[in-house]
Structure 1
Amino acid sequence: MRKRWDQWVERFRNTSLARKMMVVYAAIFGILCGITLLAMQVTLSIYDGQLYQKSLEELNFFTERVDGELKKVEELSFDLAMDYEIQNQLSVIKSAKNKAEYSFQMSKLRSRLTTEALSAELVSEFIYTDKFLTRYEVGKRYVELPVGIYDSLLEKFDKAKGAYVYENPTEEFPYLVSGRDIRKHIDASLDYLGSLIFVSDIRVLIEKHLNQLKTDVSSLCVTSDSGLIYQSEDGLYEKIRQVLPESDYEIINLEGRKYFLCQLTSAETGWTYVNMFPYSSIYFMNTMVRYCLIGGFLVLFVAAMLILKRLSTAITRPLNRLTDSIQIVEAGEFQKAKEYLEGEKRGDEAGILTQEFRIMLDKIMVLIHENYEKQILLKDTQYRALQAQINPHFLYNTLNSINWMIRSGKNEEASEMLISLGDLLRAAFRKEQLATVLEELELARHYIDIQKVRYRRRAEFLVEAEGDLEAYHVPRMILQPLVENSINHGVDNSLNKCRILVRVKENEEAQTMTLEVEDDGPGMTEEELETVRNFTMVPKGNGIGLKNIRERLNLIFSDAVFEITSQPGKGTVVRIEIPKYGGK
């Protein structure tokens, strides 16, 4: 094992620098992806637990609503049993001395019970009995009460001495039968005056609140010590009775499918409520998020490896070119070796080494060429420094806008912005120092497309172009910063919608190209305008300053015009006029 490890270390030591970087990058990125996926898995697991708890809370809420309805039935029985008018009528009936008076009072009692039964939402039928001769049944629907249940309930009435009692529904008789004896309270004698029995359709009572369970595809069954009370579909209880969990909730396998099952026992009635629904119906999106995250990280890992491969190649390329140049020097071709390294202008160690090697070649070459080469190097180095300042700032601002869109939940608009950003970066990251006027205008258009998403209600963008824009060249990245400057100082400081006009025009007579960016924002006072013109005003944000643009223009065009005009309340205009450069 030790020998194999030493072989791998030796192979890694002798491999190319680019491959070493790829291995290191892959290891670091893989570890980060693994940690991120693990964190997301833990987060989603916690979220699963919250969903389980939420389902149980919904079942608890449903149970409380059903218990509340049953409580109303109990309260109704108490109110009728304690009603003074009913107590008085029953007292008169009990002491009636002739049949006419008895019949009259019984008719009044029946009329009262009929009125109460018709207005009682949860009770299908009222039954009054004196346990001997009289039994009245009134209500919205007649239900034939089994003799066994009737006799059992009357026995419980005797034992309860006026308290509320009930018989649990069963699968054979799915009705809640409840009630109490009516005891005489008007004289506190507690004499027996009769019994009230209520018959309630438990299916109607439960289904009244079944929509409280938010999952549309859920199945519910209710059981008691007496057996099944209710089931939302035939055969449900027989399916799940063998797999009922001991805990409050559990994921079960039933007929080859996964179901989430939660159960709750009511403290009021002792009934057990069991709610079951397909696992995928509520956790489908959660599962999809897991798969999408894994797939996304795999795609990201592959994309990152491709990018890192290009990056490592770009980093090691100067060293490879320097090696090739040294081999050219060995053949005595100093000028050719120097020309071979012309494109390498970097500030890192490889760049410094390359630069020192070129200086060594300069000292070997003729002194007359030395001064000329230094001037070229100075000018090119200044431009590279400016360009290195531009790209990171611009990319940072754009990515910050995309981040803002994603945080706001505007994913479609963020996607459009990312597409525009890709087009923009392809154009902005080209290596040439100059671009055609058309390319520079297209670069600004891509930037405007990005900002349209962000400032759709606060800014209006117009672009005007005239002339042969493909024939002439301008320094790359000078138009887009002007648009960004108008947004920062015009749109962001305006209370009303701001209009930004980008105008590019070829002046055939003057043999010049004019680039203008105009906004109708708040403008500037003379004092503010003077600070901008002499570049003493601190730029807003981290964008490319106007001084930066002017210096880049001066590096290439000695007679470039760079003007800034502004009036308070009327906006600001930045105009650049440069000689035609390039041409057909």
Structure 2
Amino acid sequence: MGFKKHRIFSTISKLWHQVFSRILFIYSVTIFIVISLLLLFIGHFLHKEYVDQALEANDHTLDRLETYFDSRNQNLSANLLRLYYNNDLVESVAYALQNNREDYWKYRLDSYTKSNSFVPTTIDSFVNTMYLTDQDIDAINISSLETGNSFNYIFNHYNWSQMRMEKEGSFLPDIKNGIAISKPIHDGVSPESIGTFTAYYSLDKLNKDEGILGNSEVGGVQVYSLDKELLFSSVDELENVPVPTGMSNNEQIEWAHEDGTYYLNHRVDYNLGFIYVGVIPEDEIEGISFTFWFTILAIIFLAVTVVLTGYAVIRKYARRMREIEYHMLEVQDGNFTTRVNVSERDKDELSTIANSFNRMVKELNSYIDRAFVLEMKKREAEMRALQSQINPHFLYNTLESIRMKAVIEGSKGTAAMTYHLATTLRYALSDKQQVQLKEELEHLKQYMKIMEYRFESKLSVDYKIDESLLSLPVLRFILQPVAENYIIHGFKADQQGNQLQIQVKTMEDCRVAIVMSDNGKGMELERLHGIQEKLYGEEVTSTDSIGLSNIHQRIQLQYGKPHGLFIKSEKDKGTEVTLILPVGHEKTKLIS
């Protein structure tokens, strides 16, 4: 399992480091995001359009519902208005409300006897006439505000039995699945009310009358009182439907319920005391589901189509690029006869690169034929010169460190050590006799970095450099041999905390001092004297060109006796090597 996972990650890493794989990935992600955003925008627009259409249709239903109740109210008001056109009828109704029933019946007989009309002017005749003008009325109640007299008239006994609920201590019954519209009754003389006229309407008619609610629109309607009591619902009853009374008419909201999303219309009729609510379940809106699945499938289809098309195009270019890369590797391995196949139909940048590569390889092959042998001889001579300058111990130790580092770390750190080694060798191969101090210091740093890799945490190097002296011309190879001498003779390989400090400063007599001090093994006084005698008295040969005595002699030959290399050392405490150089000496002009 671990091997498979490693193999998968290795494959992904390999693909990611291929330019065309990254281009394909970025292209695919970009196209997918753009197509998704575009189709989501279109889907959102269509979704909103379908919702708006459903709300508009539902709003028309609320219009019809509101018109229905308003017409009931207007009919009721018109009938009561006719009451006041007939004085005898007004007097009869007022007498009935203000007296007991026995006195009222005597009053009716006396009035009928005295009247010349065959049409009775009683509450019964008035109520029957009202029913004839509005047969949606299921029951009427006329009640007195003073005496408590109450007259009930039932026209549709079935609906009334379904609506009526007894209420103890009240002459006005409570109702369910119905509404009651009440109007005040006056005696025709005083503006104060003497009673209440209440008409009852069953709301079952709304479900049966297609002209009011219709049978094709999505969703349904609910009717609430201003106290938010549900009076009627043409849909399955929902709990906690938001029914605001202060909201303006025709305001629409989206309501998230536990069984889905609903869209609501609101109408508030303060005159009748009703709140009309249109309820539209989202899953019943035609086109919503289609829009959702269309958007998802369109995103998948278009994304796959575009990505596959891009893959086919990019794969063609990737194949050509890999062919060019293959032939480059062939040349890298020494095969100068290889050529990239270029089609005459291809006139793009890759064909230009391939043609240029073929010409380059051809010219390179010709150049090798002319100059290879001479160049190799020159390189061999330079290498022999290098070998005569570089201490073999340094190369052996460095290469051994690189080899062991590669074995232990699996090539980790090898690149860095190789880089520092290459930089050091490049500097050593230079034919300059003098360089700037910053170049010599850089060469020293490259060498010390190799040593730090070799001895890991056992060695630390500290530089204290006066930057104003970095451009000072100095002889080449005067610092690294001193550091190498410390590594060979003074470094404590079995201990931690080895330190080497390099300091460049200006002395009081305007000369420059380069001080290299360590906390290494040091040396006994007798050995120090022997080294000093050899250092200051021995003639230098070409094979000693990187020794301390060679450095001292070269400095003195270049700048004179006051300058040179000076050593101080103490057993088990360390060694200090000081190089004294002039500033502004005529022989210090930089030459190459």
TM-score range, shorter chain: 0.3 to 0.5
Q: TM-score, normalised by structure 1?
A: 0.42
Q: TM-score, normalised by structure 2?
A: 0.41
